[in-house]
Structure 1
Amino acid sequence: MSGTLDHVMIRVEDLEESLDWYTTHLGYEEKGRWEADTFTNVYLGPEDLHEEGAVLELTYNHGDNTYEMGDAWGHIAVRVPEDELESSYQQLMDEGVEDYRDPESCGGRYAFVKDPDGHEVEIVKRDHGAKWSLDHTMIRVEDADEALGFWTRKFGYEHTGRWESDTFANYFMKPEGAAEEAMAVELTYNYDGRSYEMGDAWGHLAVSADDLHDYWETLMEREADDYRDPESCDDMFAFTKDPDGHEIEVIPADFESPE
């Protein structure tokens, strides 16, 4: 489906350690790999990934690199069955995963762990999707109206849920008609007017396009940021940015990483 979120990219300092963590603890398998001269991208997901499900892209830049986490992006979230939050969390604890925020401290609704690079991984209860599949990616925005308008007008996304509290609001967005199993983007808006540091430990979100050039032309007609057009990316993909500077990649639905 055109516009569905295809993957979320995070940068890692030790590729083998990160691969071991995600394959051991979440049961992920390698879905694809791109070996370049200066970096390696590995795409991971559960074995029974839904056709509209998103994958996790681990980017390893060759050499001794460190990254700043920043606070403009928050976390990825993975699914477990409704009645398996506590047992799934305990399984991770038994396997030696860092005890960050247990279910009890989160009111029994969700929990958090961290991967070897400190990326936060939320565990959420869902009655759909493969266990440990990606449910959403949370990014923080400084102007909720502007961010909601961006995803609605530029990408044709719609609300699939919201949570408004005394101090913040979460808005979940997906393309109209997307499957329940598709990953959502969670826009978090804190009411206190704070600003955020982007950091470089998180890279981007990526959406899938039936036709890269037609999709890009539509984005330009809707006045999206012309950050890296298809021509500048060898007509393989393209990038725009949201109002807060979060990068959004556009890739063709039949995209295959170069070998």
Structure 2
Amino acid sequence: MTTIDNSFIINHSCLRVKDPKVSIPFYENNFGMKCIRRLHFDGFSLYLLGFETEANKDKSWGAREGVLELCHNHGSEDDDSFKVNNGNGTENRGFGHICVSVDNIQVCEANLLANGAKFQKKLSDGRQKDIAFVLDPDGYWVELVEHQRNKTEAKTDLSTYKFNHTMIRVKDAKKSLDFYKNKFGMKLLSTFDFPDARFTLFFLGYDHANNHEENSIDKKVRHFQESLLELTYNYGTEEDTDFHYHNGNSTDNGAIQGYGHIGVSCKDPATFCKQLEDKYGDELDWSVQWGKGSLTPNLAFIRDPDGYSVEIIPLDIFSDDSKL
């Protein structure tokens, strides 16, 4: 069986971007993220953004929660035809959004508007007045929710912001929950069912407390957490054999890429991957097995039931300066 120790975290989420010189300032200026590492390879670069907190200051990027990985294919900034799939169109839907939790959502929204940001949904739009969706430079949706910690009237403090979660749509909730809970050891923190609208939201993450109770985390607590995974299940999709979501990476039938993956890091990923292979064998869909990566042998990629990729890395991956 697999061993899930307290080193396991959801470390990062990866998005492809057209121009890092535009995307990085968007996340730094509007949300207070900092570019903590730059990794340059032949043909592409990775920019790792995160929040510089007291808890993070001595950690390598792979040991942190709440990291946003921006993947830039060299030259795309000069290609007028380049665009990404944000996952929310009428075709090739799949990935939904990332979410930033803030102290004062009204002031955050006002600052974004003053900075020229475009919105998919403002607080005043629709029935839900406590969430908003701003668009980043590539058109990815960034959900805004409020954690209310140390909230001050008419002010917002970027140092309180959290990279709260990443949302993906899933075809079969039972299969997806089995994958993330039983194979990766994540805990089901909260479930929200909307029968009238025919969908359910599942929030998962790592909670290493021995006394964790499933579905015990309320919204106020959840909004102050980092690196959660939200699964959105629309009723009945599992019954349609021809139905599938786009995983963000496929180019089949002319599909455009966008979302890349989430990354899980832990102290001993080699042993974890071996345990997965020993227990589940051919049930698993590896795109890169441990020890066989072209960039480094110290990572693996596995696909979930919908084909979304999960990267598995050590806490200290690329912790030296060789790829700065």
What is the TM-score when the length of structure 2 is the normalising length?
0.74
Instruction: Pick from 73, 86, 101 the counterpart of residue 69 of structure 1.
Output: 86
Deviations 1:60-107 (A, max 9, x none): 0012343333321100001112xx111111111111110221123252
State the Cα distance separating 1:136 from its structure 2 match.
0.5
Aligned to 2:274: 217
The residue identity in structure 2 corresponding to 1:215 is F
* Offset at residue 176 of structure 1 (A): 3.1
Aligned residue number for residue 246 of structure 2 = 197
1:110-149 to 2 correspondences below 5 Å: 110-127=131-148, 131-149=160-178
State the 4+ residue runs in structure 1 displaced beyond 6 angstroms: none
**What root-mean-square deviation, in Å, do the aligned CA atoms of Structure 1 and Structure 2 show?**
2.1
**Per-residue deviation at 1:134?**
0.8
Aligned residues of 1:11 and 1:202 also touching (Cα < 8 A): yes
Q: How does 1:87-102 map to 2 (within 5 A)?
A: 87-102=107-122
1:238 partnered with 2:250 = no
The residue aligned with 1:165 is: 194
Could you tell me how far apart the structure 2 residues matched to 1:127 and 1:220 are? 43
- Does the 8 Å contact 2:300/2:311 carry over to 1? yes
Measure the CA separation in 2 of the matches of 1:97 and 1:141. 29
In 2, Cα distance between equivalents of 1:127 and 1:50: 20
Aligned partners of 2:179 and 2:107: how far apart in 1?
39
For structure 2, the residue ranges without an aligned partner over 5 or more in a row are 1-5, 57-63, 77-81, 88-92, 150-157, 210-221, 238-242, 249-256
Q: Report the count of equivalent residues.
A: 257
**Counterpart contact for 2:86–2:96, Cα < 8 Å:** no
* Residue 130 to residue 250, structure 1, CA distance change in 2 (3 Å): farther
1:25 aligns with 2:30: yes
Q: CA deviation at 1:110?
A: 1.2
- Give the 3 Å change call, closer, same or farther, for CA 250–127 of structure 1 in structure 2: farther
Q: Does 1:60 align with 2:120?
A: no
User: Which of the pair is proportionally richer in strand?
Assistant: 1
Q: Which runs of 5+ in 1 are unaligned?
A: none
**Which is greater in Rg?**
2
For 2:207 and 2:278, the matched residues in 1 are separated by 20
For the 8 Å contact 2:51–2:66, the answer to whether it is kept is no
TM-score by length of 1: 0.92
Equivalent position to 1:154, from 183, 190, 211: 183
Give the letter for the 1:91 counterpart.
N
Decide whether the 8 Å contact of 2:164 with 2:227 is kept in 1: yes
Any idea what the Cα deviations from partners look like across 1:136-165, whole Å, max 9, x if unmatched? 000000000111111111011111111100
- Look up the equivalent residue of 2:83 and give its one-letter code: T
Asked if structure 2 preserves the Cα contact closer than 8 Å seen for 1:155 and 1:175, the reply is: no
Query: Is the CA contact 2:83–2:138 (under 8 Å) kept in the aligned structure 1?
Result: no
Deviation at 1:226, TM superposition (A): 2.5
Give the % identical residues: 32
